[in-house]
A and B are shown apart, each in its own frame.
Chain A
Amino acid sequence: MKIGRVAGNVVSTINHPFFDSQRLMICDLIGPDGEPLGGYTIAVDTVDAGVGDMVLIIDEGNSARQMFGLTTGPIRAVIAGIIDSIDMA
């Protein structure tokens, strides 16, 4: 899984049927200290994350499809949790 920070969202009406009524969030990929890693991903939101939230992102297709009860579907990145804090040893 990856750590991200929600930076915004994407709105679309013409899309693959899977994305009908899904919330798509733009997430900057960050390290455990919150530093940007330089990339971003557009992830499907399952936890009502908001802009600025630190989130846990699943970036693997089969797990993502499983979360939606699907065996097929063009989905890979999913926000699976909102991170409260990370403690580093």
Chain B
Amino acid sequence: MQLGRVTGTVVATVKTEGLEGIKFLVVQPLDKHEKPVGKPLIAADAVSMAGPGELVYFVASREAAEALEPRFVPVDHAIVGIVDQVSA
């Protein structure tokens, strides 16, 4: 899992089967000091409560598909937690 900052929301009316009702957010991956690293990505919000400005942690690949209900919807990144506090 990696840290990320939610920087935007994605609106898509037409989606493939399985993605209905899933919220997609723009996430900037961060290093452990909360500095941006790499390029922004689009992640599904598996906690349904994340929003712009929030510090989150996210999973990728198969684990992202596991994070959502129903399982194995076609996503490649998913936010699985909102960070209250990080020490590093």
Interface residues of A, Cβ cutoff 8 Å to B: 7-16, 18-19, 24, 26, 28, 40-43, 61, 72-77
Contacts and interface: CB of A to CB of B under 8 A. Distances in A.
B39 to A, nearest CB: 15
B83 A74 contact: no
Contact of A26 (B47, B62, B86): B86
B82 A10 contact: no
Contact of A16 (B32, B61, B67): B67
Given A40-B2, A61-B66, 4 more contacts: A7-B88, A16-B81, A28-B32, A42-B3
B38 to A, nearest CB: 11
Tell me which of A10, A24, A72, A73 has the highest count of chain B C-beta atoms within 10 A of its own C-beta: A10
B66 A15 contact: no
Chain B, interface SS category? mixed
Contacts of B31: 40
A10 B83 contact: yes
B7 to A, nearest CB: 19
B76 interface: no
Nearest to A76: B63
A72 B83 contact: no
23 contacts: A10-B57, A10-B85, A11-B84, A11-B86, A12-B84, A13-B82, A14-B49, A15-B80, A16-B80, A18-B80, A19-B81, A24-B57, A26-B86, A26-B88, A41-B1, A42-B3, A43-B1, A61-B61, A72-B71, A74-B46, A74-B63, A75-B59, A76-B63
